Chain A
């Protein structure tokens, strides 16, 4: 079946960038409420030529082959990118995964991630593939939030945006 392409299985068995690393600017914890799969994800921001970049993205996950492979692809695709390119990569991945199979994805933008295109045909699995990507957007929102103004997300234990981790447990639907 096309869902478990060799590339996906390889990523799921050996996820790129796995492990939680210090230092970091924000940490989030997301859970897929339908199956209990979870990911803890950290982001560290950097700066290159006056542009804010996603210096590192590190994670620990417990989940199915699709969610683990997707986290691996995420790390491979967006580590080191300027934030606007992280955003456009997210948009491309989200678009492909929620297209019900109509958007095959651009290999130029999504690299190995196009192997996840088959997931879009299985609506119940889209959440699995999006888990780490939703966690990333949440983590970036926290990392770039103005200090002293914690993001008012339901269930969040908000703290200062820099220096200390912020945890959130929510359904990334």
Chain B
């Protein structure tokens, strides 16, 4: 994450307004403690504008999108398609290229399964077919959602999975990229921002190398889109996946973005209603994207909620969200650096780094760290954060992770740092 000159973090008053917008931050946990929510990397909390948009949809417009001739169906369809346009514009792409899914995991599986289905699709889908000898390249820092679907695709197709290794600091080791991306490489799938390390990966070198050999680039933007400005078109990737619920939106809606010429040629993953051209008892043709990839009654209320979320984030300004979270990250990293019994797993400066900060506490298992923090009202994530190979590479079984949202403040960082002192005390390790 780079500092944009002149971009200011939120003032105290602005932060207070944001917090007042998020109802759950008003509750207490564990015997009256203020909720210190530092788990937005797992899922974000929701402003009332998002909740009200969903409620208004159900109270005023609910109907099955793309079906029916009645007024409600028209309004529901409009609301859903307006949500698509808003989300598309938020990440700098055309709305016809945005597919609503259940979540980012489904988005990534959609691509992997569509590639399997390409085997029996028409000649236009040939470029998606993998065979023995082909290779799929991922990285050692992937979330399981951007690893396991590719492992499975390789099992189904006979292709070989390879991966970019990491440095001890938790950055991609691109020194062997030329030997990893070759004429055999058909897919390069990687994350823009690590959900564990916070590392922000350089997209351009991987994209240019992949393009040189004609490989498809699939970018996981789950941990970048909610926290910094992202222009997918400018990144020049082929597909990108993110989840609504990590960006102040509701659960149950995710996004797959794909280049229109690719979506046009790609066979469907899930089939059924809404996605067909015409159907006979023996066969079916499929409709154009994005509907081709949205079988069944669409998640309209959730899409409407996500629309409200991107409006909310746009009003805050993503550059300001990024700067705000960068300052919190810097404060946390500085605080942790003063604790010799804490080891940060990942980059220790805010250069090319997002706001996920994972760490190990000497002599105390992550689960126990999380438990003692929870006892003080501090919500963090513990475990392997759906990235087991990453943890194995970094030499830890489990870590404690703090991650930020726009509603976090310096008081949250101070609460965490104080909470860690309490962890030492409970386990009899305090000096």
B371 pairs with A3, CB closer than 8 A: yes
Return chain B residues, CB-CB under 8 Å to A34: 383
A11 touches B (CB below 8 Å): no
One of B91-99, B127-135, B362-370 contacting the partner: B362-370
B372 touches A1 (CB 8 A): yes
If A9-B428, A63-B365 touch, whether A37 touches B398 (CB-CB below 8 Å) is: yes
Q: Compute how far the CA of A66 lies from the CA of B365 in the bound complex, rounded to whole angstroms.
A: 10
Closest approach, in angstroms, between the C-beta of B351 and any C-beta of chain A? 30
Give the interface size bracket for A toward B: 10 to 19
Q: Are A36 and B368 in contact (CB under 8 A)?
A: no
Contact B375 A65 (CB under 8 A): no
User: Are A36's CB and B428's CB within 8 A?
Assistant: no
Q: Please, which residues of chain A bring their CB within 8 A of the CB of B326? A: none
Q: Which residues of B in the span 367-413 have a Cβ within 8 Å of any Cβ on A?
A: 367-368, 371-372, 375, 382-384, 388, 391, 397-398
Interface size class of B (residues with CB under 8 A): 10 to 19
Residue with the greatest number of chain A CB neighbours at <10 A, chosen from B384, B391, B397: B397
Q: Is B341 an interface residue (CB 8 A)?
A: no
A77 interfacial contact with B, CB 8 Å:
no
CB of A70, distance to nearest CB on chain B (Å)? 13
Which of B367, B375, B391: most chain A CB closer than 10 A? B367
Q: Are B382 and A35 in contact (CB under 8 A)?
A: yes
B375/A66 in contact, CB under 8 A: no
Interface residue? B427 (CB, 8 A): yes
Q: Mark A48-78, 1 if CB is under 8 A from B, else 0.
A: 0000000000000011111000000000000
A169 at the interface (CB under 8 A from B): no
Residues of A within 8 A of B364 (CB): 65
* B427 and A4 contact, CB distance less than 8 A: yes
User: In chain B, what residue has the closest Cβ to A62?
Assistant: B397
Asked if B371 and A125 make an inter-chain contact with CB atoms under 8 angstroms apart, the answer reads: yes
Identify A35's interface contact among B383, B426, B427, B428, CB under 8 A: B383
Interface: A128 (CB within 8 A): yes
Q: In the complex the two chains form, is B383's CB within 8 Å of A36's CB?
A: yes
Asked whether A35 lies within 8 Å of B368 as measured between CB atoms, the reply is no
The answer to whether A122 touches B371, judged by C-beta atoms less than 8 angstroms apart, is: yes
Chain A 91-131 interface residues, beta-carbon cutoff 8 Å to B: 122, 125, 128
Q: Which residues of chain A from 33 to 49 have any CB-CB distance to chain B below 8 Å in the complex?
A: 34-37
Set A1, A36, A66: member contacting B398, Cβ < 8 A: A36
Interchain CA distance A3-B368 in the complex, whole Å: 10
Residues in A neighbouring B428, C-beta threshold 8 A: 9
Q: Give the dominant DSSP class at A's interface.
A: mixed
When the two chains form their complex, are residues A65 and B368 in contact, meaning their CB atoms are under 8 A apart?
yes
The main secondary structure of chain B at its interface with chain A is mixed
In the assembled complex, the Cα of A103 lies from the Cα of B131 at a distance in Å of: 57
- Kindly report which residue of chain B lies nearest to residue A63, judged by CB atoms: B365
- Complex CA distance for A30 and B372, rounded to whole angstroms: 25
Q: Cβ of A66 and Cβ of B397 under 8 Å apart?
A: no
Shortest Cβ distance from residue A101 to the other chain B in the assembled complex, whole angstroms = 14
Residue pair B375, A35 in contact (C-beta under 8 Å): no
Report Cα–Cα, A6/B398, bound state, in Å. Answer: 24
What is the chain B residue whose CB lies nearest that of A3?
Answer: B371
Shortest Cβ gap from B373 to chain A (Å): 11
What chain B residues lie within 8 Å of A128 (beta carbons)?
367
Using known A-B contacts A9-B428, A63-B365, determine if residue A36 contacts B397 with beta carbons closer than 8 Å: yes
Shortest B147–chain A CB gap in Å is 15
State A125–B371 Cα separation when bound (angstroms).
9
Please determine whether A35 and B384 come into contact, CB atoms closer than 8 angstroms.
yes
- A35 close to B371 (CB less than 8 A): no
Is the beta-carbon distance between A35 and B366 smaller than 8 angstroms?
A: yes
Q: Min CB distance, A31 to chain B, in Å?
A: 10
Distance to closest chain A CB from B30 (angstroms): 9
Closest to A10 in B: B428
A102 to chain B, nearest CB (A): 20
* The one of B365, B383, B426 that contacts A1, using a Cβ cutoff of 8 Å: B426
- Greatest chain A CB density within 10 A among B364, B365, B427 is at B365
Q: Are B383 and A65 in contact (CB under 8 A)?
A: no
Cα(A125)–Cα(B428), bound, Å: 21
CA distance A65 to B382 in the complex (A): 14
- Are B365's CB and A36's CB within 8 A? no
Residues of A with C-beta under 8 A to B372: 1, 4
Measured CA separation A3–B30 after assembly (Å): 13
Tell me the bound Cα distance from A1 to B422 in angstroms: 11
Q: Which chain A residue has the least Cβ–Cβ distance from B397?
A: A36
User: Measured between C-beta atoms, what is the minimum distance from B379 to chain A in Å?
Assistant: 12
Answer whether A66 and B426 are a contact pair too, CB < 8 Å, given A35-B382, A35-B398.
no
Closest 9 CB pairs of A and B: A64-B365, A64-B367, A35-B383, A1-B375, A65-B368, A64-B368, A35-B398, A36-B397, A36-B384
16 further A-B pairs in the complex, CB-CB below 8 A; given A1-B375, A4-B372, A64-B365: A1-B371, A4-B427, A35-B384, A35-B398, A36-B383, A36-B388, A36-B391, A36-B397, A36-B398, A37-B367, A37-B397, A63-B365, A64-B366, A125-B367, A125-B371, A128-B367
List, sorted by A's number, 16 A–B pairs whose CB atoms are closer than 8 Å.
A1-B371, A1-B375, A1-B426, A4-B368, A9-B427, A34-B383, A35-B382, A35-B398, A36-B388, A36-B397, A36-B398, A37-B365, A63-B365, A64-B366, A65-B368, A128-B367
Residues on B close to A: CB < 8 A? 364-368, 371-372, 375, 382-384, 388, 391, 397-398, 426-428
